[in-house]
Structure 1
Amino acid sequence: MSTPCNGIPRPWRWRGALSVLLLALFYALPWLRWNGHQALLLDINARRFDLFGWTLWPGDVGVLVGMLAVLAVGLALLTHLAGRIWCGHACPQTLWRRAFDWIAHGMAKALPAPAVRPATQVAWGLLSLWTGITFVGLFSPINELVAAAPHIGWSGWETFWVLFYAAATWGNAGFLREQVCRSLCPFARMQPLLTDPHTPRMLYDARRGEPRGTRPSGLGGVLGRGRGLLDPTTAQDYVFRAAHPLLAGPMPTFSADRLGDCTDCAACVSACPMQLDIRQGPQADCLACGACLDACSRQQHQAGFGPGLVRYCSPQAMAGQPRQWWRPRTLALLSMLLALLACGAWRLL
């Protein structure tokens, strides 16, 4: 049987729905009302922060800092336990890059080729402008901001920040794209401090997939035709040879019945927004977005193989070892979170 990994996951078909939900929540947030007033408003001019009926004044800045600290430690704990869930599914860069991709694909399907690029840029620009208005609407009353837009009645600062965030959205999601995650995002640099061998991540089952290569249809997977799983050392040797052919030398020639389940279609690489090859092992730039998992699952299904060649699990689970939920970093982060919550409760009571 296959290497245990807390169950074999299904393709992540919910990714698109989650992105739509989070984007809709962001655009709806400034329009939410509470007792006749904007529910969430950080009014800098009035020096007050309205949060669903709860008003914070300048003297309550400690409460606001505490809330931000709770969110930061909570995100660190989530990353430690569940991997890069934030980066792959909730980060603004991921959400807007995905939205821009949807727009580009939609334009390519609906319009003739000469009109695709200009129409895409116009749609990107409009979405970016509305994003800037929505974001500034969290700091300036959204009703007044939108009402003043047709006759350009914004203040100088409102105009600057709307255009600034519109340009940032357009540039980051439309052009910089993965370079933001790879080179600019500080949270990505913190991942090694938050993860350990028990933290889930996208992994390739080399014992089952290697040696990779094309083969006749109808051959069946390694588990069905009796080849079984390779030993870890041999599997990693094949992975290294495939990744570094000039250094390790050419791969040996294998008969079709000795090949692993990876057909070397490179669908996982094409689907990855970072253009990574998950078969080369865990990589710091991987966002754990699940695009490679979905692509590989489709290819495996078409080939008649079972799912799970690419999985979201921890290295320990991939090796067949039980997962440990309570580790030193887990206890440290959880203690920090509980301490912050206790301080906040004491401050408010």
Structure 2
Amino acid sequence: MNPINSYAISPSELEARLRLHRLPDVGPKRFRLLIEAFGSASKAISAPAGAWRSLGLPPISADARRSHEIRDGASQALAWLERPDQHLLMWDQPDYPALLAQIYDAPPLLFIAGDPAILEKPQLAMVGSRRASRPGMDTAAAFARSLAGAGFVITSGLALGIDGAAHQAALDVGGQTIGVLGTGLENFYPQRHRRLAAAMIAQGSAVVSEFPLDAAPQAANFPRRNRIISGLSLGVLVVEASMASGSLITAKLAAEQGREVYAIPGSIHHPGAKGCHQLIRDGAVLVETIEHILEALRGWQALSCPAPIAVAHPLVALLRAAPHTSEALAIASGRPLAQLLAALTELELEGQVICENGRWFARR
């Protein structure tokens, strides 16, 4: 078994915990209740059904604990844990993430593919629309690159849109990133991001889930997933979100957990900005640059601003010669306008350029 799983627990107790974890209607609160009431998962599994009923547990939970399906699922999880880079963290284990342990319904078990040690590093969650606009995707990527360079692990939900852009951008600059799934790790969703998840694991990052390995995507799973994203993180940055976006659930959970909530504003005419504007009205920090996030987190020793760039970026060199509009700079640099605007956004986040009255200037 992997070293992370070798803390003082017997094989029979581990197997019993995996069985409890798979039972219908046994969530984090009931899982802990059972272990506290009986002293261990092994004793809970063997206790009479009447003892379970006395705790207020539904009959379906007690009846299922000895079923072949539950036993087989636990056995498959044990076999999964024998493979490289596959781990299990338990809520009463010293290695369990300290910030996540603070939330009232912290998951009792976390399955991890990749490096479990990064779950203890300072994290910044980045979330947003699954149907993000191209400027929104570019903004997410620019912020993720800068935040990863500043020492944050970028945490998100591996969904399409903003989540995927943030994960990929962190990897692109050699940073670390954590994807939290709303399914089991062996029933990956969305399938389009399976390759991204594999790259994350291969490059020293991690993909995690509280759900049994074969758990299918269900609507109720994703709000539960969101509380882990916010619970692991020092704060949550919402990049682009409509009023119906699940990102607002993550932001609400973050606020309830005592985490900072950040939101990037957008055009009043863009539906994807309305969720961020509502968050700002509700008290979220309005973010235009990475500095607005770092200002609130200066006390974390693990964080440091990116090192100064020794060689001027080609666009900065052009702007040092003379200010340009976006269109003029696209012509002068030979870059497509969309690509140019993405590069300028990143340079603005790094404090190298500034836009005033429709023209771009290099900062001295």
What is the TM-score when the length of structure 1 is the normalising length? 0.25
* Structure whose CA Rg is larger: 1
Between structures 1 and 2, the one with greater strand share: 2
Choose between structure 1 and 2: higher helix proportion.
1
**RCO greater where, 1 or 2, for CA within 8 Å and sep 6 or more?**
1
In the superposition, the TM-score normalised over structure 2's length comes to: 0.24
